[in-house]
């Protein structure tokens, strides 16, 4: 089954404790991205990657890091989480960055930073 | 830059009512337009799309027409069901030299039996 998986689905942590949210897709997609969803603000893109070893900032990259060492994986790293990073996070992928390509989303990771 | 504006929700309807969710956009060039749906506890999934002016996207009884003259892509359904209760996102991509997608803030739809 074609899918995007994220882990963990739920995470409660404390300020300053480094964490990684994993994302993997099995569709051989070139383009992957991370979003955060907050009430009243909709979806905001954090980082994206056009292919292996190619990443770039989205609209709200501060406090986040990413890497793309393999085509299928695109982990999101919070080196020193803060309470304002409490949010619902989605990973997404698409065949390429082409204008008509739909994005496939993972199920989401709900992060709470105390 | 690009932007997408959706009507604020929640939109509350009775089953079998007609649905319209308005979406207008600002973009240079000729973007592709999308509607995504997010059911409770799930990620977004594509509902329909249109890639050029006057195209009509349709799926599961939902329709939207790409109107370049009014820069709009309104979502419609003739008879909603309780199972259509979800959050709907309008989005665009593929313009301004960048293919980074732009999403609206989402519109919550609640359908009562």
What confidence score (pLDDT) does residue A49 get? 93
The mean pLDDT of B79-91, rounded to a whole number, is: 96
Looking at chain B from residue 9 to 28, which residues have their Cβ under 8 Å from any Cβ of chain A?
A: none
Residue B96: predicted pLDDT: 55
Q: CA-CA distance, A39 to B1, in Å (whole number)?
A: 22
Reported as a single tens digit per residue, the pLDDT across B20-72 is 999 999 988 788 999 999 999 899 999 999 999 999 999 999 999 999 999 99
Q: What is the pLDDT of residue B95?
A: 63
Q: Does the distance separating the beta carbons of B94 and A100 come in below 8 Å?
A: yes
Grade residue B5 by pLDDT with cuts at 50, 70 and 90: very high
User: B113 pLDDT exceeds 70?
Assistant: yes
CA distance B95 to B113: 41
Tell me if chain B has a CB within 8 Å of the CB of A39: no
Q: Is B73 on the interface with A (CB under 8 A)?
A: no
For testing contact with chain B, the best of A42, A46, A92 (most B CBs within 10 A): A42
Q: How far apart are CA B15 and CA A107, in angstroms?
A: 27
Rg (CA), chain A: 13
Q: Give the best residue of B95, B97, B101, B103 to mutate against chain A (max A CB count within 10 A).
A: B101
pLDDT in tens, chain A (114 residues): 889 999 999 999 999 999 999 999 999 999 999 999 998 888 999 999 989 999 999 989 999 999 999 999 999 999 999 999 999 999 999 987 666 788 999 999 999 999
Count of CB atoms within 10 A of residue A51's CB? 14
How close does chain A come to B25, measured CA to CA in Å? 15
* C-alpha–C-alpha distance, residues B97 and B101, integer Å: 12
- Tell me the pLDDT tens digit for each residue of B59-80: 999 999 999 999 999 999 999 9
- What strand order describes the sheet that includes A76-78? A4-7, A19-25, A76-78, A65-66
């Amino acid at each position: 089954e074609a899918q995007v998986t994220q882990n963990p689905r739920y995470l409660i942590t404390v300020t300053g404790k480094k964490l990684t949210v994993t994302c993997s897709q099995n569709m051989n997609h070139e383009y992957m991205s991370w979003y955060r969803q907050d009430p009243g603000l909709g979806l905001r893109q954090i980082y994206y990657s056009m292919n292996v070893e190619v990443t770039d900032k989205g609209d709200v990259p501060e406090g986040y890091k990413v890497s793309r060492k393999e085509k299928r994986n695109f982990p999101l790293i919070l080196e020193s989480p803060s309470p304002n990073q409490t949010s619902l996070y989605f990973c997404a992928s698409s065949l390429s960055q082409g204008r008509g390509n739909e994005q496939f989303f993972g199920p989401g990771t709900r992060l709470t930073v105390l | 830059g690009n932007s997408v504006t959706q009507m604020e929700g929640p939109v509350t309807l009775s089953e079998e009512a007609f649905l319209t969710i308005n979406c207008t956009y600002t973009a240079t060039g000729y973007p592709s337009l999308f509607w995504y749906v997010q059911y409770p506890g799930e990620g977004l999934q594509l509902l329909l799309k249109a890639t050029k002016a006057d195209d009509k996207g349709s799926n599961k009884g939902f329709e939207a027409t790409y109107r370049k003259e009014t820069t709009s892509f309104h979502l419609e359904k003739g008879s909603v069901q309780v199972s259509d209760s979800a959050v709907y996102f309008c989005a665009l991509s593929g313009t301004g030299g960048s293919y980074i997608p732009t999403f609206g803030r989402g519109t919550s739809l609640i359908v009562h039996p």
